[in-house]
């Protein structure tokens, strides 16, 4: 079978990672597309007051075991910056990485500035076309972004864990998390536009620090503190998409789904494809699904009486996810896919994909779920 133009089929066949497609170059938001500042601030202030009354809710957020096992050491020196404008040298902007150094080169480094990781292989023709385009665009960005290249023939583990099916595949990391990406050999103009979009709105200084603190608070289960920090960012920049999505996640974690819906409604249409927004929307959709499921014990008892009741097993998976028992939720949905892939119009697999989008690519349950789903689909 001939390979599609623009990318190569990988020897491994895991489920492809779902990432928002790059926007068309030059696509700008008009004032008409943006909700009023008064409308934004009304929701923000409502949220701030609501969270001051909320008790702290413990929320377990597992971290990828694979990433924990990666090397954590990283060398950072001041002599990598040029005197003229502070632009980094080409040697510091572009490098090769390994499985062992992936954590330091990509995850940790992305906490300081966006990092692109390029998955490639020597046998891939489109990879050879894309690499010089990527390198040229990264150098032209003058230190706003770094490029890390990984040969999947020599180091296949990361690509397998992330569900990369075709190469070339470029994933952008920011603040330690996958933020955007594309597959195939894009032309130079689209690669440049991709980098511009990734770096143009990147928060710096106090706002970036506040967003990091807010994310850390959410990981610790402190939704009230996280919401206050997100609201502080929005007080200075009412259009900050990351903060809006973060505030919506805080509402979802505390069961305030109506406020989460109102917060996400403030996101302009042109920004609905932002990774933070799609993740928050997926979380909201899942939470809405779980509202009418009934007690968890009743679902478990009903399934025990009839293990072939796929609808009950599906509902149980939603309820388990609502209780933050993600790996158990994955296990039940995988069981449905294994028993009857076509059930409910491929509903179990589609629900898994929605879970992965909501949890994020680096989440332990996402990584484990993609591996299990891949083994079932391609067995």
Domains recognised in the chain with CATH numbers: 31-57+204-290 (1.25.40), 89-200 (3.40.30.10), 296-377 (1.25.40.10)
Question: Which pairing describes strands 94-96 and 146-151: parallel, antiparallel, or unpaired?
Answer: parallel
pLDDT 10s digits, 250-261: 999 888 999 999
Q: Which residue has the higher pLDDT, 182 or 43?
A: 182
* Mean pLDDT along residues 192-218: 78
Q: Please, what is the average pLDDT of the chain?
A: 75
* Band of residue 201 on the pLDDT scale cut at 50, 70, 90: low
pLDDT 10s digits, 135-179: 999 988 877 789 999 999 999 998 888 878 889 999 999 878 888
CB 253 within 8 A of CB 224: no
Task: Look at residue 28 in the predicted model and tell me its pLDDT.
Answer: 25
122 alpha carbon, distance to own chain's centre = 28
Task: Look at residue 203 in the predicted model and tell me its pLDDT.
Answer: 57
pLDDT 10s digits, 64-114: 332 333 323 222 322 322 222 233 344 578 999 999 999 889 988 887 788
Q: Which residue has the higher pLDDT, 109 or 118?
A: 118
pLDDT 10s digits, 283-294: 898 888 888 888
127 is catalytic: yes
Task: Look at residue 140 in the predicted model and tell me its pLDDT.
Answer: 86
Three-state SS for 325?
A: coil
Task: Look at residue 199 in the predicted model and tell me its pLDDT.
Answer: 78
* Residue 188 clears pLDDT 80, i.e. is over it: yes
CA distance 113 to 196: 13
Neighbouring residues of 140: CB distance < 8 A, sequence distance ≥ 6 = 192
What does the H/E/C string look like for 96-125?
ECCCCCHHHHHHHHHHCCCEEEEEECCCCH
Buried b (16+ CB within 10 A) or exposed e, 98-121: ebebbbbbbbbbbeebbbbbbbbb
pLDDT 10s digits, 340-368: 989 999 999 999 988 888 887 777 888 88
Three-state SS for 183?
A: strand
Percent of the chain beyond pLDDT 90?
Answer: 31
Task: Look at residue 347 in the predicted model and tell me its pLDDT.
Answer: 92
* Residue 14 clears pLDDT 50, i.e. is over it: no
* Mean pLDDT along residues 297-301: 92
């Amino acid at each position: 079978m001939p390979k599609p133009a623009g990318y190569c089929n990988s020897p491994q066949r895991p489920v492809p990672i779902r990432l928002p497609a790059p926007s068309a170059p030059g696509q700008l938001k008009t004032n008409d597309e943006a909700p009023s500042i008064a409308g934004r601030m009304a929701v923000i202030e409502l949220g701030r007051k609501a969270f001051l009354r909320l008790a702290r809710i413990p929320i377990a957020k597992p971290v990828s075991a694979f990433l924990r096992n990666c090397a954590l050491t990283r060398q950072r020196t001041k002599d990598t910056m040029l005197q003229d404008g502070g632009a980094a040298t080409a040697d510091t902007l572009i490098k090769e990485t390994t499985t062992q150094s992936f954590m330091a080169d990509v995850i940790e480094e992305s906490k300081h500035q966006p990092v692109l990781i390029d998955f490639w292989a020597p046998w891939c023709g489109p990879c050879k076309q894309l690499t010089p385009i990527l390198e040229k665009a990264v150098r032209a960005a003058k230190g706003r972004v770094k490029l890390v290249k990984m040969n999947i023939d020599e180091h296949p583990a990361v690509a397998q864990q992330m569900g990369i099916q075709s190469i070339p595949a470029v994933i952008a990391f920011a603040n330690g998390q996958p933020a955007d990406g594309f597959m195939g050999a894009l032309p130079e103009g689209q690669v440049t536009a991709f980098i511009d979009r990734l770096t143009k709105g990147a928060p710096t200084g106090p706002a970036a620090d506040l967003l990091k603190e807010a994310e850390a608070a959410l990981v610790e289960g402190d939704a009230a503190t996280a919401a206050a920090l997100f609201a502080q960012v929005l007080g200075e920049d009412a259009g900050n998409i990351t903060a809006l999505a973060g505030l919506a996640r805080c509402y979802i974690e505390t069961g305030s789904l109506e406020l989460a819906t109102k917060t996400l409604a403030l996101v302009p249409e042109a920004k609905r494809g932002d990774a933070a927004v799609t993740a928050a929307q997926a979380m909201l959709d899942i939470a809405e699904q779980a509202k009418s499921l009934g007690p968890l014990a009743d679902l478990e008892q009903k399934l025990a009486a009839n293990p072939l009741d796929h609808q009950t097993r599906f509902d149980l998976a939603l309820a388990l996810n609502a209780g933050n028992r993600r790996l158990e939720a994955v296990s039940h949905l995988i069981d449905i896919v294994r028993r009857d892939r076509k059930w409910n119009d491929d509903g179990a697999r589609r629900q898994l994909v929605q879970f992965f989008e909501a949890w994020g690519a680096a989440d332990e349950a996402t990584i484990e779920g993609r591996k299990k789903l891949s083994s079932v689909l391609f067995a």
